[in-house]
Structure 1
Amino acid sequence: MLRTRWLAPTAPMNIAVYVTWGVVALQPLLGAARGTLSLTGPTAVGLVALLSTVPLWWWRTRCSGGQSRAALLLVGLQALAVLCACWGLRNGAIPILLIIVAAQLGALCPMRRVAGLMLPVNLALLLILAQRWGWSDAVQSVLSTAAFQTFAALMTAYAHRAEDARDDMLRINGELLATRQLLLESTRGEERLRLSRELHDVVGHKLTALNLLLRLQARDNGRTPALDDCERLAGELLADVRGVVSTLREHDGIDLHGALQALVPAIPEPRVVLDLAPRVRVTGLAQAQTLLRCAQEGLTNAMRHSGAERVTIQLREADGGVVLEVDDDGTARALPTPGNGLRGMRERVEAVDGRLDFTLRAGGGLGLRVWLPQAVAA
């Protein structure tokens, strides 16, 4: 599950939750301040339970992003706290908080599971309200509350799916842009190579032949100012052609900078930092595709599974080859279990005689390192 910005403790939805609990808790707090609230045992338990729901919600938001069991446990504690508050405090607004509990479950579970989890909670609420108001009023109140719970859970589930779909769309769009950039760079590289060969093999050779003919003409018929100028111009032109060929040869290979920059999706978390050596190039399209796919897989895994806030992608030359490193500051404490994505990545790297390694960072997080041979030094 991708981390989403609205699950942060300071997100607008969470601020609205804090306000809701504050308003619901205001009446018993004011009653306690005026002395009109009798702090019996059940009342004290209810007041403490009501006030405990805000820190429970805050801890719930901190557990988002992969720790679903801990988040479900905290949601269950919130529901228990709300039921205790309903039992101890005679405040008809307290069942509203179960709507917030259902909204959280809508982001964590499928709707069938939400219904199964909320059913015993609502039955317990029915028993509590029936002792106070009678069965008729209690059933009516619980049914209306359950309807709002369903609405809140559905809205949260759809919002969560929409944000996940948006993040997936941005990621896929970034991958398509990166692939297009790589193909464009490959086409430009092939065109530079063709031009450099044509200049060297055709223009360069003909200028060399022209220079030799001018020297033979000067030897056989004597040197003249016009002949000397022609020989000088032919020599300068040949030097210029060789300079152009050398400049084109400096840019042999494929530049991955544009493709890696296009790969970074425009989403707030995790923050992606690119550290790309300015003149690193790879020899062919197969090597470039391998490095790009490894960067893509590493970034996707960091977004989906690590809970990282920062991902660093580094490209440099080392050990006679090109090195790509993807590091995150997530919560990984063990090396990943090879799945289809990791196995496919390793197969790609080994197909071009490269090496793939995973390391654990000292402060938490996972590092991916890919080395490919045949780096082209600019």
Structure 2
Amino acid sequence: MPSFLRHLLSPLSLAGLVTILVVGLTLGVHTPGAGLRWAVLGLFLLLFAVHSQLPSREGVRLIAGVMQAVLAVAMVALEPRTGTAPILLVVLVAQLAEHWPPRVVLLIALAANVALYAVLKQAAFPQPLMIVLLYGGFQVFAALTAHYARSTALARDALARVNADLLATRALLADSARDAERLRLARELHDVAGHKLTAMRLNLRALAADPALAGRDGLLLAEQLSGELLTDIRQVVQSMRDDRGLDLDTALHALAAPFPRPRLQVQIAEGLRVTDPQLAETVLRLVQEALTNAARHADAGTVWLTMTKENSRLRIDIRDDGQRAERISEGNGIVGMRERLAVMQGELQLARTEHGGMHLIARLPA
């Protein structure tokens, strides 16, 4: 489902839409000035629906919020006697509290309520201050509800990220522990079994050289079997010493597992091995930040990760199917990526895919 519809059908947004439509039902159709009132309400509804899709940079979304406040007060001025138009301010404050810090919401709400009082006073509405205070109480309740809902969602996302981080780190640690245990067993086989088999074979050869025992089939067979066993043990030791690298594929999928969006698709070149735990940790953090950026800033559905070898260096390509601005601004996440890569003598390049998504290219010493 597109992000626009997903946000519009969320409980808070859906409640706001229903409330705005109910306010519209009180306006009437054939009353004088109904066309202007419906036009103002329609513009307010449109801005409410697209608010989350507007770019937050350059104050576009904030300007839209201020325009909604002006439209809500204008609705009160056009229909002061109905008494339902101030509800639009309650909806607006709840919407702003989902996207903006409390101080911004407070400033817009205060300005809108002062204007509301002035309009009601001008229209000779009885007890305008009481009306403003009453709707102000509703606004505070709506703002707190939206604020705590947003805080809960952010806390849930942060907890999911921490859990994913722990799962990925646990996968790497388990893989490192298996490698260490395999190396320990290889050393034990080489130092203990290999040493004793070598000594046994030397003794068998000495016995076979004794004229009294020379030519005995059993002795020759024992010497032959000891040689074969020693060769087999050396092959096992060599196989156990072979460094197969850390299992990055499992760790990366564990990192992305708790998130429903975006999905992570991993492609690691055949034969590519990462044996340095610090390098593996850097790759994990790079992918983690890329996933967070793709979900938070581009609403991507899929992230593709490709790891290859390029001129004795490790190349990591991360692409998403989100929508980015023409000019990619480097926030704290990208700066953190660059700093982490710099520690490993790596570098980072930014680009846009042909469909408007982000394309990260990282190069690290293999």
**Range into which the TM-score falls when normalised by the shorter chain:** 0.7 to 0.9
Instruction: Give 2:307's aligned residue.
Output: 315
Q: 1:101 aligns with which of 92, 96, 99?
A: 92
Could you say which residue in structure 2 is the equivalent of 1:27? 26
1:15 corresponds to which residue? 14
Give secondary structure in 2 for the equivalent of 1:99. helix
Q: 1:194 aligns with which of 163, 174, 184?
A: 184
Task: After TM superposition, give the deviation of residue 112 of structure 1 in Å.
Answer: 2.7
Q: Tell me, what secondary structure is at the counterpart of 1:272?
A: strand
**Distance in 2 separating the partners of 1:273 and 1:68:** 34
Q: CA offsets, 1:296-317, max 9 Å, x none?
A: 3333444454554433333344
Indicate yes or no: 2:264 matched with 1:272: yes
Cα 1:356–1:217 change in 2 (3 A) is farther
Pair 1:80–1:161, CA change in 2 (3 A):
same
* Segment of structure 1 superposing worse, 91-100 or 79-88: 79-88
Unaligned residue ranges in structure 2 (runs of 5+)? none
2:343 to 348, 357, 365: 348
Per the alignment, in what secondary structure is the counterpart of residue 351 of structure 2? strand
CA distance in 1, matches of 2:190, 2:315: 32
- Aligned residues of 1:46 and 1:85 also touching (Cα < 8 A): yes
What amino acid is the match of 1:342? M
**Counterpart position of 1:185:** 175
In the other structure, the counterpart of 1:289 is 281
Secondary structure, aligned partner of 2:229: helix
Provide the secondary structure at the position in 2 that maps to 1:121: helix
Checking the alignment, whether the CA contact within 8 Å between 1:349 and 1:370 is kept in structure 2 is no
2:246 maps to which of 247, 254, 258? 254
Unaligned runs of 5+ in 1: none
From the superposition, tell whether residues 303 and 211 of structure 1 become closer, same or farther in structure 2 (CA, over 3 Å).
same
Task: Choose 278-287 or 166-175, whichever is displaced more.
Answer: 278-287
CA contact (8 A) 2:268 2:307 kept: yes
Amino acid at match of 1:125: L
Following superposition of structure 1 onto structure 2, how do residues 34-53 of structure 1 map, counting pairs within 5 Å?
37-38=30-31, 40=32, 42-53=33-44
Give the letter aligned to residue 166 of structure 1: R
Tell me if 1:299 matches 2:273: no
Q: % of aligned pairs identical? A: 36
Whole-Å separation in 1 of the counterparts to 2:26 and 2:39: 14
Look up the SS of the partner of 1:323 in the other structure: strand
- In the superposition, the TM-score normalised over structure 2's length comes to 0.84
Q: Do residues 126 (structure 1) and 117 (structure 2) align?
A: yes
Could you tell me how far 1:344 is from its partner in structure 2?
Answer: 2.0
Confirm or deny: 8 A CA contact 1:5 1:11 kept in the other structure: no
SS in 2 for 1:282: coil
Residue of structure 1 aligned with 2:324, choices 315, 318, 331: 331
> Which shows bigger deviation, 214-223 or 167-176?
214-223
How far did 1:103 drift? 0.7
Secondary structure of the 2:359 match is: strand
Return 117-126 or 335-344, whichever deviates more.
335-344
Letter in 1 for 2:259: I
CA distance in 1, matches of 2:260, 2:64: 26
The TM-score, its normalising length taken from structure 1, stands at 0.81
Q: Residue type matched to 1:331 in 2?
A: R
Confirm or deny that 1:77 pairs with 2:67.
yes
CA drift of 1:252 comes to 3.6
Matched, 1:357 2:349: yes
Higher relative contact order (CA 8 A, sep 6+): 1
CA distance in 2, matches of 1:82, 1:91: 14
